[in-house]
């Protein structure tokens, strides 16, 4: 590539800014080299690299909140067919432009979707990335239930989390007259609600502690297989612990997603 072409690439990237993902394009152009979180999200990807199968040929993947597509491109480079969704057209424009730079357009389908739009499809995905989105949801368990219902093999869940404190495990079987003080235990599964802003962002609604995140995932019918640290959990469908939304509580999910529920 000539210097002139490289300058052209850089000015196209600048025109699509601001960028949240620092992509390293094939010609060496970086989209957010001065990112406040470092070489983001490559710094996070380093902890995932060995956990995601190196060969994803034949896998169908879903990247929720794909942003500029960093993770989408990593999965596509490994051979996956990826559906990449995001609510924000600004980020989808970046991702679609970058897909052309990587020559990966054939493997990726971008959709301007809310996570809740998953209620309108029966598609199943071998691998789902649910990273950096959970805490942005006003209806987090609805989002998680929809995700879990679309999963075939492996989920990467990443959220802002409240750190510390061993999980409080004896959460079952309290009676209505029992003292609820135990729920103040720091390890009790929790979601902290953000009424106004967190990190200057009014779209940050809920921050789980680790026990809370793991309990929610289990409640959605998933097995937490690995806590990678760095707020990342690796999960798989748990056939021995099916979600209540597939059994006695199916009507609530159907009603919440505008589908007929009365038998």
Ligand X SMILES: C[S@@+](CC[C@H](N)C(=O)[O-])C[C@H]1O[C@@H](n2cnc3c(N)ncnc32)[C@H](O)[C@@H]1O
Q: Which residues bind ligand X (CB under 6 A)?
A: 41, 64-65, 67, 85-88, 91, 114-115, 131-133, 136-137
Which residues, in sequence order, are CB contacts of 22 under 8 Å at separation 6+?
30, 31, 32, 33, 35, 39, 40, 41, 42, 70
Give the separation between CA 158 and CA 106, rounded to whole angstroms. Answer: 27
Minimum CB separation from ligand X for residue 89, in Å? Answer: 9
**Smaller CB separation from ligand X, 59 or 130:** 130
Minimum CB separation from ligand X for residue 66, in Å? Answer: 6
Give the separation between CA 241 and CA 83, rounded to whole angstroms. Answer: 27
261 contacts 255 by C-beta, under 8 angstroms: yes
Minimum CB separation from ligand X for residue 199, in Å? Answer: 10
Structure-token pair, residue 248:
């006695």
**Smaller CB separation from ligand X, 154 or 188:** 154
Question: In the complex, which residue's CB is closest to ligand X?
Answer: 65
Minimum CB separation from ligand X for residue 157, in Å? Answer: 11
**Smaller CB separation from ligand X, 116 or 168:** 116
Q: Which of 149, 150, 138, 146 minimizes the C-alpha distance to 257?
A: 146
| Cβ neighbours around 237 below 10 Å, total | 18
Give the separation between CA 245 and CA 19, rounded to whole angstroms. Answer: 37
Minimum CB separation from ligand X for residue 171, in Å? Answer: 28
Minimum CB separation from ligand X for residue 79, in Å? Answer: 20
- Chain-centroid distance, C-alpha 60: 16
**Smaller CB separation from ligand X, 64 or 82:** 64
**Smaller CB separation from ligand X, 133 or 224:** 133
**Smaller CB separation from ligand X, 16 or 85:** 85
């Amino acid at each position: 590539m000539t210097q002139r072409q490289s300058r052209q690439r850089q000015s196209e990237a600048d025109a699509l800014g601001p960028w949240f993902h620092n992509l390293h394009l094939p010609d060496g152009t970086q989209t957010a080299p001065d990112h406040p979180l470092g070489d983001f999200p490559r710094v996070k990807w380093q902890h995932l690299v060995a956990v995601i199968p190196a060969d994803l040929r034949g896998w169908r993947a879903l990247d929720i909140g794909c942003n500029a597509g960093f993770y989408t491109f990593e999965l596509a480079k490994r051979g996956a067919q990826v559906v990449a969704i995001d609510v924000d057209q600004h980020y989808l424009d970046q991702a679609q432009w970058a897909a052309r730079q990587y020559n990966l357009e054939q493997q990726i389908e971008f959709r301007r979707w809310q996570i809740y739009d998953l209620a309108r499809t029966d598609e199943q995905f071998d691998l789902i990335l649910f990273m950096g989105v959970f805490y942005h949801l006003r209806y987090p368990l609805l989002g998680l239930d929809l995700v879990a219902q679309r999963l075939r093999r492996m989920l990467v869940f990443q959220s802002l989390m409240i750190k510390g404190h061993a999980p409080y495990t004896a959460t079952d079987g309290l009676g209505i007259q029992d003292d609820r003080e135990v729920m103040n235990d720091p390890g009790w599964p929790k979601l902290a609600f953000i009424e106004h802003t967190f990190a200057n962002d009014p779209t940050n609604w809920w921050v789980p502690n680790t026990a809370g995140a793991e309990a929610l995932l289990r409640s959605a019918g998933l097995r937490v297989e690995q806590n990678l640290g760095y707020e990342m959990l690796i999960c798989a469908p748990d056939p021995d612990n099916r979600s209540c939304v597939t059994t006695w509580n199916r009507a609530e999910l159907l009603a919440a997603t505008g589908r007929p529920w009365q038998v």
